[in-house]
Chain A
């Protein structure tokens, strides 16, 4: 783990409101694994502003990228940074997705820009699989051509029907699971809490492992402050409180004790 000055290499505008920031940060990029994140101190915010965590979208020996949506003053300021500007980056942080699929078919489930760490994962898995991706509208569907280029089966759902199936991404998942004779799967998911929980429930019914990337508001990023905690269940039935930033952000669905039982 490093806390270094990183140089903005490029800012790419993707769909409306979404951007890709490319950083020259070799110390972090060369160690990064899919599912890990970086904690950025955004230059130009007031000095007391907290850091912002971002999933790693891409990493090479020298550069790493994040994919983000402009949603608040942190990401607004981030979007103003130009090539040559510097910011402070801590990482790679967190545990990352397990890359061993145990002869199961990888099924990736993404909500909106939750596709970013799954795109990185698809590049590092040793086999092709399927991406199910959902968004509010067609503009929220990102990166699908990358999966197609890697030979992945890509299926899209939008809430307004402007691209792919009309409905939630779980509509796609249910349709696939209902098909007789579908192969044994390992699920990997990143997106809103409701989507993660829906994937967890379906994976449990199917007897499949599901690796979920949890998104909780973080402060320190290293497990010190206890702002981003999640209760987990051990195999013996006892529970403990994990730190999403340090012990996660990737957890197996069966471990998670959801806050409001259904």
Chain B
């Protein structure tokens, strides 16, 4: 007679997802701008456990960003106006990409520019090198005067930009959409129809803080973008709206502090999530989110994390 297998050895749930052809071992990455270029957190976080690493925004040339102060703490989060300081494409490829290649998880590079041509050229330059899995196209940064959010402000400019970048690269394109629009659906649809492989949302919400004693803006840039737990319900609503408008997968972000908020995003329709501001407070958040999603799937007897995507019950 055969001995039955031990009952306790239940199979672990399958956390793997494929976003825009990018195979991720789990659905959790980090939000651009909150994790540097990966190596800044290498001493505190086992980078090999991440689903992907999303690096800070890159344009063609090095960029200085905004004057200080660049951030201010507010209840439920922070407002920042870093202004996309970065090393430029060549600096990124030379100084940061070799380290990221060694980590061995997919690398998503956030790109931006002040013209359609610059976006396209950045995409083309990054297509020629090894070790980049996809491009997050930043059309929603509120903190630069030119470029950034101005391309994301109208579905037609979104479509034109995505189409132009599409012609210059084979890398998966993941436009990052702005939250401050009356209706996200036409933006999501415009990006998808122009050739986007996935969507990323949300970016920070435009915000302002005033020092009432001096009557001056606290940030040198005057205005910035709100991030942190305060924006999470806003992001859930936008992800839910976008998920119903398009078939391409969504990477959701905004106010994740633990697995619960990440799971909400997945239920709302996201295929993957990104941890942002919470990393500043607890660098271990991203690993805690991965473990917590797995525990949730076990508890709810769900075999594959992709079965959770869009599983919201509304009746």
Q: Which residues of A contact B (CB under 8 A)?
A: 1, 3, 41, 46-51, 88, 90, 216-217, 219-220, 222-229, 241, 246, 259
Contact = CB atoms under 8 A, between A and B. Distances in A.
24 contacts: A1-B43, A46-B75, A47-B229, A48-B75, A48-B228, A48-B229, A48-B257, A216-B68, A217-B68, A217-B71, A219-B78, A220-B36, A220-B40, A222-B44, A223-B40, A224-B40, A225-B36, A225-B82, A226-B56, A227-B68, A229-B68, A229-B85, A241-B65, A259-B67
Contacts of A224: 34-36, 40-41, 279-280
Contact of B280 (A46, A47, A51): A51
A226 B41 contact: no
Given A46-B76, A48-B278, A219-B80, 20 more contacts: A3-B283, A41-B281, A48-B75, A48-B277, A49-B73, A50-B78, A51-B280, A88-B282, A220-B34, A222-B41, A222-B283, A225-B33, A225-B71, A225-B80, A225-B280, A227-B68, A227-B71, A229-B68, A229-B70, A259-B67
Interface in B1-48: 33-36, 40-41, 43-44
A51 B281 contact: yes
A74 to B, nearest CB: 9
Contacts of B75: 46, 48
Interface centre among A88, A226, A228 (most CB of B within 10 A): A226
Nearest to A239: B64
4 A-B pairs with least C-beta separation: A224-B36, A224-B40, A227-B71, A223-B40
Interface in B52-94: 56, 64-65, 67-71, 73, 75-78, 80, 82, 85
B225 interface: no
Interface-centre pick from A46, A48, A223 (highest chain B CB count, 10 A): A48
Nearest to A217: B69
A47 B257 CA distance: 9
B159 to A, nearest CB: 31
Given A1-B44, A50-B281, A224-B36, A241 B85 contact: yes
A223 B36 contact: yes
Tell me if A's interface is mostly helix, strand, loop or mixed: loop
B309 to A, nearest CB: 27
Contacts, number: 90
B284 interface: yes
B interface SS class: loop
Contacts of B43: 1, 222
Contacts of B278: 48
Contact of A220 (B73, B229, B280): B280
Interface in B245-280: 257, 277-280
A17 B70 CA distance: 28
B284 A48 contact: no
Q: How large is the interface on B (under 10, 10 to 19, 20 to 34, 35 or more residues)?
A: 35 or more
Contacts of A228: 68
Contact of A41 (B67, B70, B73, B282): B282
B281 A225 contact: no
A48 B71 contact: no
Nearest to B36: A224
Given A48-B77, A48-B281, A49-B281, A227 B70 contact: yes
B88 to A, nearest CB: 13
Given A3-B283, A49-B73, A216-B68, A227 B82 contact: yes
Interface string B192-230: 000000000000000000000000000000000000111
Nearest to B81: A227
Contacts of B277: 48
A214 B44 CA distance: 24
A84 to B, nearest CB: 22
Interface string B83-114: 00100000000000000000000000000000
Contacts of A216: 68
Of the candidates B43, B65, B281, the one having the most CB atoms from chain A within 10 angstroms of its own CB is: B281
Contacts of B40: 220, 222-224, 246
Interface string B272-315: 00000111111110000000000000000000000000000000
Contacts of A88: 282
Which of B36, B85, B277 has the largest count of A CB atoms less than 10 A from its CB?
B36
B279 A220 contact: yes
B280 A226 contact: no
Contacts of B230: 48
A224 B38 CA distance: 8
B233 to A, nearest CB: 14
Contacts of A229: 65, 68, 70, 85
A88 B281 CA distance: 10
Contacts of A222: 36, 40-41, 43-44, 283
A226 B136 CA distance: 20
A225 B281 CA distance: 12
Contacts of B41: 222, 224
Nearest to B37: A224
B79 to A, nearest CB: 11
Contacts of B71: 217, 219, 225, 227
Contacts of B280: 50-51, 219-220, 224-225
Q: In this complex, which of A1, A90, A225, A259 has the most chain B Cβ atoms within 10 angstroms of its Cβ?
A: A225
Contacts of A48: 75-77, 228-230, 257, 277-278, 281
